[in-house]
């Protein structure tokens, strides 16, 4: 079931933003670049590997101007730049806007932003902490009674 969660929901989308300026070069991407980048991301269905791929293609820095709004908690703390590798090269990447990056990988903005924030705060790759044993001392008496094969009396 967990593997299905990280399968591609469909083919990648070509960017509809049309950026081709000093900052973003979304229109320079070819459909081959997009398809290869998408396939590389979904080549593994493990969440930690996909997160590492995202962190590898994202540059995260603390915001130079946090721009506080009405509430202090809504200030911008992380600045993120997104890059897509050009097919056929190892080092050449094109900087794209957030919407293009999200559309190509078909992941949520929230997933990328949370990864970027955690990576900036800790300096390490975030690890998935779901699953595993959850020892609960509330049921120790019940477990011991079952092992002794004696019924447990309820206290009212």
Read off the pLDDT of residues 47-68 as tens digits, 9 standing for 90 and up.
889 999 999 999 998 888 766 6
Question: What's the pTM?
Answer: 0.73
Phi then psi dihedrals of residue 2, to 5 deg: -65, -30
Q: In the chain, where are the structural domains located?
A: 2-129
Secondary-structure percent of the chain, ordered helix, strand, coil, rounded to 5: 40, 10, 45
Q: Look at the alpha carbons of 97, 91, 104, 110 in this order and tell me if their dihedral is positive or negative.
A: negative
Q: Has residue 35 got a pLDDT over 50? A: yes
Q: Look at the alpha carbons of 50, 112, 105, 61 in this order and tell me if their dihedral is positive or negative.
A: negative
pLDDT tens digits for range 98-146:
999 999 999 999 999 999 999 998 888 887 777 777 677 777 888 888 8
Q: Has residue 1 got a pLDDT over 60? A: no
Confidence at 155, pLDDT banded by 50, 70, 90 = low
Cβ neighbours for 118, distance < 8 A, ≥ 6 positions apart: 126
Tokens (6 digits) for 41: 């991301």
Helix (H) or strand (E) holding 82: strand 78-85
Confidence at 12, pLDDT banded by 50, 70, 90 = confident
Confidence at 75, pLDDT banded by 50, 70, 90 = low
Q: Has residue 77 got a pLDDT over 50? A: yes
């Amino acid at each position: 079931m967990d593997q299905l969660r990280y399968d591609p929901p469909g083919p990648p989308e070509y960017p509809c933003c049309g950026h081709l300026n000093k900052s973003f070069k979304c229109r320079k991407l070819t459909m081959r670049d997009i398809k290869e980048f998408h396939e590389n991301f979904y080549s593994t269905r493990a969440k930690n590997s996909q997160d590492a791929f995202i962190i590898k293609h994202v540059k995260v820095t603390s915001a130079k101007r946090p721009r506080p709004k009405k509430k202090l908690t809504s200030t911008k703390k992380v600045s993120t730049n997104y890059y897509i590798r050009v097919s056929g090269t190892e080092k050449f990447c094109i900087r794209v806007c957030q919407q293009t990056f999200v559309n190509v990988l078909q992941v949520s903005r929230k997933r990328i932003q949370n990864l970027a924030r955690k990576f900036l705060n800790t300096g390490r790759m975030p690890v998935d902490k779901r699953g595993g044993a959850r020892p609960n001392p509330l049921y120790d008496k019940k477990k011991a009674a079952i092992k002794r094969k004696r019924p447990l009396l309820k206290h009212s």
